[in-house]
A and B are shown apart, each in its own frame.
Chain A
């Protein structure tokens, strides 16, 4: 594998230097323990909504809308009251040894059951559905045991947790909450890490825009490795893009927002980015046209792309942040790139892919062609799959800056995720953790 020699200084979400002279090679997920930890924790985690299970079983409304089966109902079932016993039983099923890293906990006063599988199970499994399947099965059996369910009604417990699966390809109407979507819904092979919704990322980052962008970047990097995009000729493009856009390398994103946050617009952000790119020699004037218009060209194409992508995130933060509204993100993506290339003749983010993604995102989030809302978008969407790495951080940051205009806000659809990883430093401060891990990787070489 070729080695990318670039080094960057990484600043945290409040513009403080956290690591200097970081090798970008160390930001590759296969070299970076912090990204590995983030991905591993997400992969092995599933949450069962016990409150929903209890309600479904009490009413016989199993498998979501239009499925009412009163004859399957168990009106007196007490799942929440027995939550602790169910948790203990599930733990007994899942724990492979006394000191493995599995974790089974109750959240929100027993309304949710958090299950994290031990490493051994993840290693043995062919894909990431193991968490949902093992966690779901363990909970079904625990409920049957603890609540002493009649054999003829046990199937209802399974349906209450797994929903209509396998009649449907996902757990429709079930009580399984997983950050990752099911493999049968992947747009292409290797898209597992792209199934994480913007709302979930924002909940994991506790509504911090920079951290949300960083986590979105970590998941996209996981995907790039998985799908074979982080090798060969595009390796430097994505490593630099990740460092600058998602990890605030050279304080580019934060400092641009600081300079334009009070009264800036998307256009002013473009001027800031171009100013900085000129100062650092990333771009240079190529030709002056008779009208006085100067055509610019990148000195370093991949580094320029990283600068442009950082500007796109900064413009999102300034414009969507000013309105405290996430919906404008598609408009920023389209017009930032459009204005940038008309302004300078430089290539736009990811060489045209970002602008195309933004255009369809605009249609889909503004009820032109159906679609959905910014918060429930993920990079596995037929639209957002078009751009790798660079767009999803903008979508996540915009969602984080929303003050309450979304119909499906993070607190409503994914609020529970804000509690799950709150004691893990990689989720609390992804920028610093990833930077430190890159330095450690270099020290170990």
Chain B
């Protein structure tokens, strides 16, 4: 790991491999940290670390690898925030309870799902998910990773990814439904 970073050839390869994923990495950072400025810092730190360790990178895919690094950066950020609720990783069912997120006239929950495609609204809904379900959901639905890639990125077995994703979708659905009840 003591290899130098001033090798221009390596910098070029890193640039070609890693920079195309910048939007993806930034997107994940936004959802993990829920703060634009913190997300920028984390992404920058992530890329610096990635370059530093690029010599040891053996694949398989660049995106999950970058995400894994980003998660470590974010974890440090969570530790720094210390008091922030998002630093707590909460697998408990209570975490599923969501406050109603918007108030509009609605008919049925399913019709609502079809109608509310407003990015801002859905983003807020996703942001309302508890960790680690938010992360899993974002990796799957927004970053479009396969289950195996998610497992790589988060360092958990595929079975865990599957159950988290199932929980995430169930939570999101009930948040949607709860909203519907409110509007009634």
A and B assemble together = no
B residues contacting A by CB (< 8 A) are: none
